[in-house]
Amino acid sequence: MTTAYIDSPAWGLGLATVTASGQVLDVWFPAGNLGLGAAPFASAGAAADPAVDAANAGPGLDPATAAAAAAAAATLDPGATAAAVAAAVAAHGAGAGADTGALVDFSDIADSPDSPGSRLGLSGRVMRVEIQSLGAAPTSTADVYLRLHLLSHRIVRPHQANLDGQFGLLANVAWTSAGPCLPEQVDELRTLERRAGRRLNVFGVDKFPRMVDYVTPPGVRIADADRVRLGAHLAPGTTVMHEGFVNFNAGTLGTSMVEGRISAGVVVGDGTDVGGGSSIMGTLSGGGKETISLGERCLLGANAGIGISLGDDCVVEAGCYVTAGSKLTLPDGRVVKARELSGLSNLLFIRNSVNGRLEVRERQGRGIELNAALHAN
């Protein structure tokens, strides 16, 4: 899979959770509050809290880059927020640079001083985020969150936005039923919740939240919210069952049944079925270099695995794991490494149960017919 970033600006007006020391834990961009193109509110007001903006700009940046990053992702005071919202609403009316959907202005979302989050020193801040080019690496926590939202809102596809360096810009966060907090605050939050007559659920301690807590795209079915990270791109007609998993900057481009693992960067074409417990190798750990894609109308069988890209109309037998270096026997008896077949269409990969060889056979026809009733989401 080749990388083709788009060189477009992007903008967002989001609601951040910020710690007492100014660290940004998350930013939420509802539909309508983000889009490609120039920001409709570029001139709206100055940063209200330089400490937050400096922390949000991420560690290890030189002062000039940090200042530019802070300016591009600034917290707004109420006056500046109102101006930004008014400008964005006007731009919506003019149809310029905005995604579809009504703008959420957050002005009626206030932190109660008695809320557990407030007592932990957490506060909600409105953030204006502007990205000059999605082809350039992100420079702040809010910038990364905007890119993840652009993916999950299906405004960009996987690989269209540069996400280099994102792990260093994201905080490790405890995602709880009472909202996000720092991991070291969980015990205190649990106690505050019990005093308020509630039990705290901790969904995970991770750099990425669950997608559906931030973006719930129409036309998809997700059986277990824990299995899809923010930044996943799920096309309408996608069903992710309990065994399925979809990482950030990865996902589906059309109707798909996902019962296996779609690792970071992996893209799956229309009509492809990722079978129960199957694995599509990623590149984040374990040394894999090639970013894998599966074409249209493929079937990755149950408990199968694939370490090369598939073209269209391919089948991998249930339980058959094909790594890039696997040696495969062709119908004419030649033996080739699987990576030499990467991206080809109409192939069947099978482990011959008589002689134990991994074999590849040509397939005719149009591949797997998905059950239409399962995808009427």
Kindly give, in sequence order, each residue whose CB lies less than 8 Å from that of residue 168, ignoring residues fewer than 6 positions away. Answer: 58, 59, 60
What's the residue count for the chain? 377
The Cα–Cα gap between 224 and 12 comes to 28
Q: Does the protein bind ligand COA through residue 352 (CB under 6 A)?
A: yes
Chain CA centroid to CA 132, Å: 20
Structure tokens at 212: 């559906």
State yes or no: is 290 an active-site residue: no
Q: Does the protein bind ligand COA through residue 354 (CB under 6 A)?
A: yes
CB of 359 vs ligand COA, minimal distance in Å: 8
Structure tokens at 127: 């953030």
Active-site choice (259, 296, 340, 362): 259
Check whether 279 is labelled as a binding-site residue. Answer: yes
Check whether 26 is labelled as a binding-site residue. Answer: no
Residues 114 to 143 in contact with ligand COA, rule: CB under 6 A? none
Binding mask 303-332 for ligand COA (x = CB under 6 A): ------------x-xx--------------
Check whether 204 is labelled as a binding-site residue. Answer: no
Q: Does the protein bind ligand COA through residue 301 (CB under 6 A)?
A: yes
The residue type of 294 is L
By C-beta, is 31 or 315 nearer to ligand COA? 315
CB of 146 vs ligand COA, minimal distance in Å: 36
3-state secondary structure of 82: helix
Per-residue buried b or exposed e for 213-235, using 16+ beta carbons within 10 Å of the residue's own CB: ebbebeebbbeeeebbbbbbbbb
Check whether 317 is labelled as a binding-site residue. Answer: yes
Check whether 243 is labelled as a binding-site residue. Answer: yes
By C-beta, is 337 or 351 nearer to ligand COA? 351
Q: Which of 184, 353, 364, 369 lies at the binding interface for ligand COA (CB under 6 A)?
A: 353
**CB 296 within 8 Å of CB 270:** yes
Residue located via tokens 């983000």: 34
Q: Which of 276, 282, 311, 367 lies at the binding interface for ligand COA (CB under 6 A)?
A: 276
**CB 22 within 8 Å of CB 56:** yes
CB of 303 vs ligand COA, minimal distance in Å: 8
Check whether 261 is labelled as a binding-site residue. Answer: yes
The Cα–Cα gap between 249 and 163 comes to 8
**Residues in binding site for succinyl-CoA:** 261, 276, 279, 302, 317-318, 325, 337
List the catalytic residues: 259
Residues that bind ligand COA (CB under 6 A): 259, 275-276, 299, 301-302, 315, 317-318, 350-354
